[in-house]
Amino acid sequence: MYAEERQHEIVTRARGLGRVSVAELATRFDVTPETIRRDLDALSGRGLLSRVHGGAVPAEKLRLAEASLDSRQTSFPEEKLAIARAAMGLLPRREGLTVIIDAGTTTGRLCSLLPEWVSLVVTNSVSAAEMLAARGDLEVMMLGGQVRNLTQATVGEPALSVLRQLRVDVAFLGTNGISAEHGFSTPDPHEGAVKRAMARCAAQVFVLGDASKMDNEYLVRFAEVDEVDALVTDARLPQERAEELRVAGLTVEIA
């Protein structure tokens, strides 16, 4: 295989998995680690990959921008539904349970799955509040504040002041980035502040994120890995990446 062909496959694999390692690629292509490092350096120089310790990630993963709600709704829909269903298995079975659901396309799929023993849901998601209110079988507390057009999430001091007074049983939070080193992150400081406040007022915190979020590191960290009770993700996450998170102290549930 020529270097150009190998490098094309490396980029394709990195975009599919979210990350590639030198050791795995050397074995896969039956070349030396030094050859793979040169490939990764070349691809990094062309702006296709970004080097990280032991390998590389797609260049677009290291970014500040975030996708719109509409575009995220259509990405990995089956995986997100599987994650939401798996997350329901972590919910304590106790009458009168209180739950937080933040604004996200994966967490939004929880709205139709919540069991009858959940009595109150707190959310900063306009769309989630509408779906939950339409059910008619539980109380919904919609946090106030400014609505971000991009995510349809309420942010700002009105939301934060309410969250500082609450104590709920469980918080389900979405994330833009998952990293053993950087924790869970999001591009927007205002949304990050609300996520952080939600985590602090919950007895248990579960983060929901599909495998494409792995190794994304965004501007604002809202939780360290040891501040979260479990990450629920999908089976596309390579076993070695899940193990890396577990070594860092995080429980990883694969949907």
Q: What is the pLDDT of residue 19?
A: 84
Confidence at residue 139, expressed as pLDDT on a 0 to 100 scale:
98
pLDDT greater at residue 140 or residue 52:
140
What's the rounded mean pLDDT across residues 2-17?
A: 88
Query: Is residue 74 over pLDDT 70?
Result: no
pTM over 0.85: no
Q: In the chain, what are the domains?
A: 3-61 (1.10.10.10), 69-254 (3.40.50.1360)
Lowest mean pLDDT among 18-32, 58-72, 86-100, 168-182: 58-72
Q: How far apart are CA 201 and CA 165, in angstroms?
A: 8
Residue 59 has pLDDT above 80, yes or no: no
Lowest-confidence segment of 65-74, 136-145, 194-203 by average pLDDT: 65-74
Q: What is the pLDDT of residues 164-188, one digit of tens each?
A: 999 999 999 999 999 888 899 998 9
Q: What is the pLDDT of residue 66?
A: 60
pLDDT at 140: 98
pLDDT of res. 72:
58
The DSSP-derived string for 60-128 is GGS-S----HHHHHTSSHHHHHHHHHHHHTTS---TTEEEEE-S-TTGGGGTTT--TTEEEEEE-BHHH
pLDDT at 64: 54
| pLDDT tens digit sequence for 233-245 | 999 998 988 999 9
DSSP secondary structure, 113-134, as one string: T--TTEEEEEE-BHHHHHHHHH
Return all residues near 40 (Cβ < 8 A) that are at least 6 apart: 10, 22, 49, 51, 55, 56
203 falls in which pLDDT band (50, 70, 90)? very high
Query: By the 8 A CB rule, do 184 and 173 touch?
Result: yes
Interval 24-48 mean pLDDT: 92
